[in-house]
């Protein structure tokens, strides 16, 4: 059996349209899903929408529509965004689907049967925007630590005995040092759990838009318990759980606590294995400013793609900042990446090599007799591939992986300059052929490695090298699957155009 890999995005709230944060998480997951498939794993990649709760109900009321209509409309926007971004998810779950409602209710019943649910009364602070309860001590100037408004809530509620899991959670983090990434976030979570866990209110009675609590329909399930269960219900829980435990839940830093504290505690209570890893990524600002609706600087990912191109957008988001850190989006940084990394380095390499083979070798992969420098370049590319694999599999270090791919292109461009194949044409045609072969083979390796990040451009590059679709898995990166001399190549086409600022008319 192939090794499995189950990866999830957060499920997105349907109170509004998608923004850059949604695109970012989805692209990061897609890179991993594609990487793991190319690495020979059996992948399950899940995304979806989080449709219940007070926030969605209130937004629908404001817009004079029903929560279901609002959810239908916005869920579709998320689905379309995934298509636009070339996201390769295998499933898309909506929490209003029957399969989810039934699975979430079954999960509730298991928690109840195990004795970890009791009924009581909640009185305390709640933030509708965050869909989160806050302690008095957490408030900052009367607001949630996130800046969201809070309201005082007093209502009958069921509670989950979260306090009973404090020690088990700490032991679990201790035994599984890779459970929370990055490291700094792990420390935050441990400190939070050590500071003491209170039981968690897991049902609401003052509004209706949620999954009814089994056996007590005056209550709806707390939207986070409902939402987290999606990772199981999408697999067919309680009947089927193939692929569980999840290998990675990708989340933003603001929702780490729900995933790294509440979720494993619920699962422990239900006697189900916790997921293997939670990665909390950072947040984007826009030209140095916090992104917010009131500032009117929300970035629409559809516009990014329309303006800069799909692969360019994917590349920028994965390359610009170390994954886990916060990052700043700016037009200037985007254009610099497009021109310096994509057009001038990788694009230019492909252009030079493929057009020289086209002109000087009749578009046929030439014969070769390697010199030491050729072998050195190819083995560099091979070693980089191994390093990239480690960066992605163990650390999800996307920017470093792309940097390593860029280094192969830089070396290859240097190899062109130092060998000057255009001069060799007359002086030493045999040597020219070997140099061009080496460079084309180097491009093949670059093309293979680029696939998860910029799938369209990588496919175009591999097509131009006449690599059959079934020769594109990572195990083909080595010499055993190298280009065959004599292979006819199609006419070369540009890969990554330069960004030219349009001059005003």
| Positions in the binding site for ligand ME8 (CB under 6 A) | 10-13, 20-22, 24-25, 50, 227-228, 230, 251-252, 254-255, 283-284, 291
Q: What is the DSSP string of 418-472?
A: HH-HHHHHHH-HHHHHHHHHHHHHHHHHHHHHHTTTSHHHHHHHHHHTT--GGG-
- DSSP class of residue 473? S
Which CB sits closer to ligand ME8, 223 or 408? 223
Nearest distance in Å: CB 243, ligand ME8: 17
Nearest distance in Å: CB 128, ligand ME8: 12
Nearest distance in Å: CB 89, ligand ME8: 14
Nearest distance in Å: CB 330, ligand ME8: 14
Which CB sits closer to ligand ME8, 48 or 452? 48
Which CB sits closer to ligand ME8, 146 or 373? 146
Structure-block tokens of residue 280: 């909390």
Nearest distance in Å: CB 497, ligand ME8: 28
Q: Are 52 and 226 in contact (CB under 8 A)?
A: yes
Nearest distance in Å: CB 467, ligand ME8: 35
Residue nearest to ligand ME8 (CB): 252
Which CB sits closer to ligand ME8, 24 or 116? 24
CA atoms of 364 and 388, how far apart (whole Å): 30
Q: Which of 214, 226, 160, 171 is nearest to 193 (CA)?
A: 171
Structure-block tokens of residue 135: 């302690």
What stretches of 85-152 show up as alpha helix (H) in DSSP? 98-113
Q: Which of 229, 221, 233 is nearest to 117 (CA)?
A: 221
Question: Cα 373 to the chain's mean position, in Å?
Answer: 38
Question: Cα 305 to the chain's mean position, in Å?
Answer: 17
CA atoms within 13 A on the CB side of 298: 13
Q: What is the DSSP string of 239-280?
A: T--TTPSPSEEEEEGGGHHIIIIIHHHHHHHTT-PPPS-EEE
Which CB sits closer to ligand ME8, 159 or 258? 258
CA atoms of 190 and 188, how far apart (whole Å): 6
Nearest distance in Å: CB 20, ligand ME8: 6
Nearest distance in Å: CB 284, ligand ME8: 4
Tokens 């944060």 belong to which residue? Answer: 21
Nearest distance in Å: CB 470, ligand ME8: 36
Which CB sits closer to ligand ME8, 234 or 461? 234
Nearest distance in Å: CB 286, ligand ME8: 8
Structure-block tokens of residue 484: 């065959």
CA atoms of 474 and 41, how far apart (whole Å): 11
Q: Tell me the backbone φ, ψ of residue 245, rounded to 5 degrees.
A: -75, 150
The H or E element spanning position 412 is helix 398-419
Which CB sits closer to ligand ME8, 81 or 449? 81
Which CB sits closer to ligand ME8, 261 or 291? 291
Q: Tell me the backbone φ, ψ of residue 288, rounded to 5 degrees.
A: 85, -10
């Amino acid at each position: 059996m192939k090794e499995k890999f189950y990866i999830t995005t957060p499920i997105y709230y349907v109170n509004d349209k998608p923004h850059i944060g949604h695109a970012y998480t989805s692209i990061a997951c897609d890179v991993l899903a594609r990487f793991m498939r190319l690495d020979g794993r059996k992948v399950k990649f899940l995304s979806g929408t989080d449709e219940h709760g007070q926030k969605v109900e209130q937004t629908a009321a404001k817009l004079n529509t029903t929560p279901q209509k609002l959810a239908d409309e916005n869920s579709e926007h998320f689905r379309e965004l995934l298509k636009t971004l070339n996201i390769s998810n295998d499933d898309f779950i909506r929490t209003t689907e029957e399969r989810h409602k039934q699975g979430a209710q079954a999960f509730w019943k298991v928690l109840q049967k195990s004795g970890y649910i009791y009924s009581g009364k909640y009185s305390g602070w709640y933030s509708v925007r965050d869909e989160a309860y806050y302690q008095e001590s957490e408030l900052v100037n009367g607001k949630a630590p996130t800046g969201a408004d809070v309201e005082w809530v007093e209502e009958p509620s069921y509670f989950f005995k979260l306090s009973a899991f404090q020690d088990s959670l700490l032991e679990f983090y201790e035994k599984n040092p890779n459970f929370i990434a990055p490291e700094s976030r792990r420390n935050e979570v441990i400190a939070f759990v050590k500071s003491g866990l209170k039981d968690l209110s897991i049902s609401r009675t003052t509004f209706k838009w949620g999954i009814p609590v089994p056996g007590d329909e005056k209550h709806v399930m707390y939207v986070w318990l409902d939402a987290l269960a999606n990772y199981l219900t999408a697999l067919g829980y309680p009947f089927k759980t193939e692929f569980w435990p999840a290998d990675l839940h990708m989340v933003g830093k603001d929702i780490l606590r729900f995933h790294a504290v509440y979720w494993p505690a619920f699962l422990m209570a239900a006697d189900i294995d916790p997921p293997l890893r939670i990665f909390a990524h950072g947040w984007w600002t826009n030209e140095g400013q916090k992104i917010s609706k009131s500032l009117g600087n929300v970035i629409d990912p559809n516009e990014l793609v329309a303006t800069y191109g799909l692969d360019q957008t994917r590349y920028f988001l994965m390359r610009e900042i170390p994954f886990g850190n916060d990052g700043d989006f700016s037009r200037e940084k985007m254009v610099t990446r497009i021109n310096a990394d994509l057009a001038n380095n990788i694009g230019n390499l492909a252009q030079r090599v493929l057009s020289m083979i086209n002109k000087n070798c009749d578009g046929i992969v030439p014969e070769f007799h390697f010199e030491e420098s050729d072998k050195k370049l190819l083995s560099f590319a091979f070693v980089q591939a191994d390093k990239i694999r480690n960066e992605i599999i163990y650390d999800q270090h996307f920017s470093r992986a792309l940097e390593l791919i860029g280094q192969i292109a830089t070396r290859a461009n240097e190899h062109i300059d130092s060998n000057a194949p255009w001069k060799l044409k007359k002086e030493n045609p045999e040597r020219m052929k070997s140099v061009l072969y080496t460079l084309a083979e180097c491009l093949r390796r670059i093309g293979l490695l680029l696939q998860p990040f910029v799938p369209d451009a990588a496919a175009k590059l591999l097509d131009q090298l006449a690599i059959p679709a079934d020769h594109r898995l990572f195990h083909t990166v080595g010499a055993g699957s190298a280009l065959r001399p004599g292979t006819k190549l199609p006419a070369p086409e540009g890969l990554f155009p330069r960004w030219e600022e349009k001059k005003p008319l």
